[in-house]
Chains A and B, each alone.
Chain A
Amino acid sequence: IAGITQAPTSQILAAGRRMTLRCTQDMRHNAMYWYRQDLGLGLRLIHYSNTAGTTGKGEVPDGYSVSRANTDDFPLTLASAVPSQTSVYFCASSDSAGDGADTQYFGPGTRLTVL
């Protein structure tokens, strides 16, 4: 593994189903993030974690939950998917949630379609 991986690459899901998007990083970054990207709206933060064991809500958290049991993994769960959650989901990580040129590195994305 090098960098950030996400799984699955793409998924078609029936409305009402539960779905977990996986994200793993091997850079030992403290902070991790989940974004969704929709045409015309750009990237919007769903949830974040500044360090293992802590999580926080972003701009659009409703309908999503996260956990951060360890440094490397940050899964995103849709408890009961709805069509408005059709989007491309990007996981990102950064060395810290602090200042400086602390760059966020993005995973390859998961394309989710909810029917």
Chain B
Amino acid sequence: GQNIDQPTEMTATEGAIVQINCTYQTSGFNGLFWYQQHAGEAPTFLSYNVLDGLEEKGRFSSFLSRSKGYSYLLLKELQMKDSASYLCAVRDSDYKLSFGAGTTVTVRA
């Protein structure tokens, strides 16, 4: 099974940068995903890491260190529409996803 930890809540100012950390303990690792979920909506895919290092996609970047069981999602130039929950998910050796409880990010003007 998986044990996935991420902070419950974070608050930041519009235009700022926020880093959401995710640590995991896994019985088998086959990739790490980040999803965004606005209140009352479905999760949507943001990023995928399977090798160590940084993946950049516009204002969002995701980092992975497999040896440390650690990932982060970096949100730059925050906008009000970025207020949402961010879910860290680890795929195991059976290709099943296990999700963390999510980090609610609130962007203030």
Interface residues of A (CB under 8 A from B): 33, 35, 40-45, 48, 58-59, 90, 97-99, 101-109
Contact = CB atoms under 8 A, between A and B. Distances in A.
A103 B50 CA distance: 13
B42 A107 contact: yes
B87 A42 contact: yes
Given A99-B30, A99-B31, A103-B48, A108 B99 contact: no
Interface pairs A-B: 3 shortest CB-CB: A106-B42, A42-B101, A43-B99
Contacts of A109: 41-42
B87 to A, nearest CB: 7
B95 A99 contact: yes
Contact of A106 (B31, B43, B100, B101): B43
A90 B42 contact: yes
B41 A108 contact: yes
Contact of B99 (A40, A44, A99, A105): A44
Contact of B45 (A59, A97, A103): A103
Contacts of A101: 31, 48, 50
B13 interface: no
A33 B42 CA distance: 14
A104 B87 contact: no
29 contacts: A33-B97, A40-B101, A42-B4, A42-B87, A42-B99, A42-B100, A42-B102, A43-B43, A43-B97, A43-B99, A44-B99, A45-B97, A45-B98, A48-B96, A58-B96, A59-B98, A90-B42, A98-B95, A99-B95, A101-B31, A102-B95, A103-B33, A103-B45, A105-B45, A106-B42, A106-B44, A107-B42, A109-B41, A109-B42
Interface string B27-64: 00011010000000111110010100000000000000
A37 B96 CA distance: 16
Contacts of B1: 59
Given A42-B102, A43-B87, A99-B30, A104 B42 contact: no
B43 to A, nearest CB: 5
Contact of B97 (A99, A104, A105, A108): A104
